[in-house]
């Protein structure tokens, strides 16, 4: 018996070696240009930001933005689908150069990835629920099963404030399926996405609503490696983001993809247009 | 307790090794609940799969051909499909189609929860293997033993319960050991249908606190320890059941 525990302990020591942080260097912008391709991590289950169209291609507002980044750099665009749980790991491992995947800009995340300012979008939290659930306020969620998606920044806050029993799935389709199967009283999500889901006119959402007052507005940001934030790559993206706001690109894209006009984007557009 | 929390806070600040489960009460309680759910899930599924194994192996020797074929169909279905696919199938395909029942809030909900489906599906999965493991044990018991029991006037059930099973069980234990270890590891799949077990809890924590590398290590260490406990129990059991001098 002792032998087994000794061996287990040895395995742990070996594992501890993998805790050491990996070394990194070199400029990402140069690397992208040399390679001729920029690899962007995007969502493929998040209509209308990044989703798969009937032809099997990933399209959406964030894909348009990623394409613009590639075009301006004069390189080809390669998309890699990511989830809320793996995108930052993919970035720091070097599998992707840039995160453009509905990523909320939070102080904790800023310790791990470089957030490009100004932010390109801002959403807030709400729930998608069947009308029969008769939810009136956030406190109604207490002790009820609420579906959610792993890695969303609002999961923790809502759990701590209102005490629902979160049922968290790896991706959106599973969570939606669980909601429609009656496994949860609601689906905790971005309010803009709920609005665009409900307004798309799909009959399967006829008996659903967004019953609560949106909370906790959160800006979204493109993410780069921390080292790149002050490097040429980060500076390029920062300038690009200002351009998008100034030229009204984001407001137009929002309209193109049928997203409810966000006051944040209009505000930013007016601010940079003037300046 | 506060000392330990301070140490891990310092470890994070000074060295970037973020083991939040040791200093953040919310993360710790999530992790411990996950651990408890895994232990619960493993224990219940082990017990149920053993019962299925014993019952199935007995029915395999049934006189009616139909019963034998049904057992065979069950084994083939659960042994030849991936356990993750089974979980999805039960939870999303069957669960959503069953007639819904009213819960205490007056909402129509599926009659079986995700935890219920995980228990059912994992038990049936491990049970299919257990049936075959017990069958192998039964077939290894010398035919003369059964004949001796028959001549003593034992009924079919009596032979199975008092003669065949006790001997077969001892022969089956090493293989059973393997399958139960596998079952404990397979409980991680329940994560896919949001059963709050250990992997689920760890994934919640690392996707919010962003300490993937640390939590991966914690997970591995925890599973090594969990399985070590199971193997120790099984080894004790094997020793306790040993019949001195009987070596089939």
Ordered structural domains, chain A, with CATH? 25-120+221-274 (3.40.190.10), 124-218 (3.40.190.10)
User: A218 CB contacts (<8 Å, ≥6 apart)?
Assistant: A104, A105, A106, A122, A123, A124, A125, A153, A154
**Cβ of residue B243 closer than 8 Å to a chain A Cβ:** no
Is the pLDDT at A17 greater than 80? The verdict is no
Is the pLDDT at A36 greater than 70? The verdict is yes
Q: What is the pLDDT of residues A69-92, one digit of tens each?
A: 999 999 999 999 999 889 999 999
CA of residue A30 relative to chain centroid, distance = 26
Q: What is the pLDDT of residues A224-263, one digit of tens each?
A: 999 999 999 999 999 999 999 999 999 999 899 888 788 8
Average pLDDT over residues B84-106: 88
Å from B59 to nearest chain A CA? 36
Burial A134-148 (b: 16+ CB within 10 A, else e): ebeebebbeebbbbb
**Cβ of residue B222 closer than 8 Å to a chain A Cβ:** no
The chain B residue lying nearest A20, using CA atoms, is: B17
**Is-contact A177 B92, C-beta < 8 A?**
yes
d(CA A49, CA A62): 5
Residues paired with B44 in a beta bridge = none
d(CA B156, CA A61): 70
Q: What is the pLDDT of residues A205-225, one digit of tens each?
A: 999 999 999 998 889 999 999
Phi, psi of B80 (to 5 degrees): -100, 5
Q: What is the pLDDT of residues A100-125, one digit of tens each?
A: 999 999 988 999 999 999 999 988 99
Q: What is the pLDDT of residues B23-48, one digit of tens each?
A: 999 999 999 999 999 999 999 999 99
Residues of B with Cβ-Cβ distance to A187 under 8 angstroms: none
Q: What is the pLDDT of residue A170?
A: 87
pTM above 0.80, yes or no: no
How many A/B residue pairs have CB atoms within 8 Å?
92
Å from A227 to nearest chain B CA? 16
Average pLDDT over residues B124-132: 97
* Average pLDDT, rounded, for chain B: 92
Is the pLDDT at A31 greater than 80? The verdict is yes
Q: What is the pLDDT of residue A16?
A: 55
d(CA A209, CA A133): 10
Q: What is the pLDDT of residue A5?
A: 60
Q: Do B207 and A174 touch (CB under 8 A)?
A: no
Average pLDDT over residues B60-77: 93
Is the pLDDT at B208 greater than 70? The verdict is yes
Burial of B197: CB neighbours in 10 Å, binned 0-12, 13-18, 19+: buried
* Average pLDDT, rounded, for chain A: 88
Phi, psi of B47 (to 5 degrees): -60, -50
Query: Taking the domains of chain B in order of start, what are their residue ranges?
Result: 39-241
Is the pLDDT at A13 greater than 70? The verdict is no
Short-list B149, B177, B178, CA closest to B165? B149
Query: Which CATH fold would you assign to the domain B39-241?
Result: MetI-like fold (1.10.3720)
Contacts 24+ apart (CB under 8 A), B102-106: B105/A133, B105/A144, B105/A185
Contacts 24+ apart (CB under 8 A), B96-103: B96/A177, B96/A180, B96/A181, B96/A182, B100/A182
Is the pLDDT at A3 greater than 70? The verdict is no
H helical segments located in chain B: 2-15, 25-60, 65-79, 83-88, 114-140, 143-151, 156-158, 165-186, 198-209, 212-241
Question: For chain A, give me the number of helices (H) and strands (E)?
Answer: 11, 14
The residue to which tokens 């004069």 are assigned: A74
Q: What is the pLDDT of residues A186-198, one digit of tens each?
A: 999 988 888 888 8
**Cβ of residue B113 closer than 8 Å to a chain A Cβ:** yes
- Residue B223: count other Cβ atoms within 10 Å of its Cβ: 17
CA of residue B171 relative to chain centroid, distance = 21
d(CA A205, CA A249): 30
Is the pLDDT at A6 greater than 80? The verdict is no
Q: What is the band of A20 on the pLDDT scale with cuts at 50, 70, 90?
A: very low
Average pLDDT over residues B4-12: 91
Facing residue for B224 by CB, picked from A11, A160, A183 = A11
Share of chain B above pLDDT 70, in %: 99
Is the pLDDT at B73 greater than 90? The verdict is yes
């Amino acid at each position: 018996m002792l032998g087994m525990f000794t061996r287990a302990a040895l395995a742990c020591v070996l594992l501890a070696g993998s805790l050491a942080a990996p070394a990194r260097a070199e400029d990402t912008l140069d690397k992208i240009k040399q390679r001729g391709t920029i690899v962007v991590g995007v969502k493929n289950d998040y209509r209308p930001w990044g989703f798969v169209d009937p032809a099997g291609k990933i399209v959406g507002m964030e894909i348009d933005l990623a394409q613009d980044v590639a075009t301006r750099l004069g390189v080809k665009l390669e998309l890699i689908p990511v989830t809320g749980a793996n995108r930052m790991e993919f970035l720091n491992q070097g599998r992707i150069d840039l995160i453009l995947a509905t990523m909320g800009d939070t102080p904790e995340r800023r310790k791990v990835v470089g957030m490009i300012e100004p932010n390109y979008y801002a959403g807030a939290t709400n729930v998608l629920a069947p009308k029969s659930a008769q939810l009136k306020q956030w406190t109604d969620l207490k002790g009820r099963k609420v579906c959610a998606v792993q890695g969303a920044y609002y999961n923790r806050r809502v759990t701590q404030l209102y005490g629902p029993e979160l049922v968290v799935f790896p991706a959106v389709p599973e969570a939606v399926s669980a909601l429609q199967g009656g496994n949860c009283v609601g689906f905790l999500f971005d309010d803009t996405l709920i609005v665009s889901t409900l307004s798309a006119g799909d009959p399967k959402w006829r008996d659903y609503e967004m019953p609560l007052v949106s909370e906790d507005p959160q800006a979204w940001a493109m993410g780069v490696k921390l080292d790149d934030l002050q490097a040429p790559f980060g500076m390029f993206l920062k300038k690009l983001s200002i351009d998008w706001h100034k030229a009204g690109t984001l407001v137009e894209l929002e309209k193109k993809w049928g997203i409810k006009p966000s006051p944040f984007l209009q505000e930013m557009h007016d601010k940079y247009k003037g300046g | 307790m506060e000392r330990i929390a301070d140490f891990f806070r310092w470890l994070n600040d000074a060295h970037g090794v973020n083991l939040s489960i040791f200093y953040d009460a919310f993360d710790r309680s999530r992790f411990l609940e996950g651990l408890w759910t895994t232990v619960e899930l493993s224990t219940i599924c082990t017990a149920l799969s053993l019962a299925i194994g014993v019952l199935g192996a007995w029915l395999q020797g049934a006189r009616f051909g139909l019963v034998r074929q049904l057992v065979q169909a069950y084994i083939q279905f659960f042994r030849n499909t991936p356990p993750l696919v089974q979980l999805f199938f039960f939870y999303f395909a069957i669960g959503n189609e069953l007639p819904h029942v009213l819960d205490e809030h007056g909402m129509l909900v599926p009659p079986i929860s995700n935890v219920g489906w995980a228990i059912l599906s994992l038990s049936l999965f491990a049970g299919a293997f257990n049936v075959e493991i017990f069958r192998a044990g039964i077939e290894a018991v010398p035919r003369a033993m059964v004949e001796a029991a028959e001549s003593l006037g034992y009924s079919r059930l009596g032979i199975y319960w008092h003669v065949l099973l006790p001997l077969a069980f001892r022969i089956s234990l090493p293989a059973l050991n393997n399958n139960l270890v596998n079952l404990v590891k397979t409980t991680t799949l329940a994560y896919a249908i949001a059963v709050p077990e250990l992997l689920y809890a760890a994934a919640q924590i690392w996707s919010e606190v962003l300490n993937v590398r640390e939590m991966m290590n914690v997970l591995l260490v925890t599973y090594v320890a969990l399985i070590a406990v199971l193997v120790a129990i099984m080894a004790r059991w094997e020793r306790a059941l040993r019949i001195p001098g009987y070596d089939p």
